[in-house]
């Protein structure tokens, strides 16, 4: 996608996401900083932070689990090169532990695709599968929302027994809700 198109798509994605009641009323949102060809999340993160929403961002651990730290604006991000993996922008503040995600009212999830059942296809590292399992074990029920491009909403994605559906998908052209 050309750079100008990607910036425009990120702006539209942020607009659509910010219209969600799940984000409008959330005190804490667990999110992520987009990488590579993922739909851009920076405008969304900055707007949530400016509104006073507590934004938690992941910190990748050596075993692919996720720790969390608060997002305090663009200056709070540091580029971290993980061994054998891509570089990520991660929050540089104090680590809050893997269970910090349990405080989230809404969890924004990355993905490669989502289908008509709300099943999300991730990148295959299992990091967010662990997050979703942690939420389920604790009895936490935040709104699960995946951010994608329009073409990434597909008819069917393969699923496994541990996969959980998301509540909604946000794309630059709109929101689709499930179940």
**Ligand-binding site membership of 120 (annotated):** yes
**Ligand-binding site membership of 125 (annotated):** yes
**Ligand-binding site membership of 122 (annotated):** yes
**Ligand-binding site membership of 127 (annotated):** yes
**Ligand-binding site membership of 123 (annotated):** yes
Kind plus residue range of the DSSP H or E element containing 16: helix 3-18
**Ligand-binding site membership of 166 (annotated):** no
**Ligand-binding site membership of 128 (annotated):** yes
**Ligand-binding site membership of 40 (annotated):** no
Ramachandran quadrant class, 124 (left: phi over 0; alpha: psi -120 to 50; beta: rest): left
Reported in sequence order, the residue ranges of 75-118 that DSSP labels E, i.e. its strands, are: 77-81, 87-91, 106-109, 113-115
CA 76/CA 114 separation, integer angstroms: 31
Q: Which residues pair with 30 in a beta bridge?
A: 56, 107
Q: Which residues pair with 88 in a beta bridge?
A: 80
CA 79/CA 74 separation, integer angstroms: 11
**Ligand-binding site membership of 169 (annotated):** no
Q: Which residues are annotated as a binding site?
A: 33, 38, 120-128
Mark the binding-site residues for ATP, compressed into ranges.
Answer: 120-128
Numbered residues of the known binding site for substrate: 33, 38
């Amino acid at each position: 996608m050309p750079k100008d198109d990607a910036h425009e798509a990120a702006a539209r994605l942020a607009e659509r996401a910010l219209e969600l009641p799940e984000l409008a009323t959330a005190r804490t949102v667990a999110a992520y900083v987009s990488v590579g060809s993922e739909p851009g999340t920076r405008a969304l993160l900055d707007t949530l932070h400016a509104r006073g929403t507590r934004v938690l961002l992941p910190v990748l651990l050596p075993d692919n689990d996720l720790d969390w730290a608060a997002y305090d604006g663009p200056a709070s991000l540091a580029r971290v090169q993980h061994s054998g993996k891509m570089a990520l922008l991660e929050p540089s503040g104090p680590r809050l532990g893997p269970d910090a995600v349990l405080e989230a009212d809404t969890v924004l999830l990355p993905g490669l695709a989502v289908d008509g059942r709300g099943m999300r296809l991730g990148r295959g590292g299992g990091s967010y599968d662990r997050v979703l399992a942690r939420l389920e074990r604790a009895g936490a029920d935040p709104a699960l929302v995946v951010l994608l491009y329009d073409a990434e909403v597909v008819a069917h994605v393969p699923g496994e027994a541990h996969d959980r559906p998301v509540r909604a998908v946000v794309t630059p052209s709109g929101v689709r809700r499930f179940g």
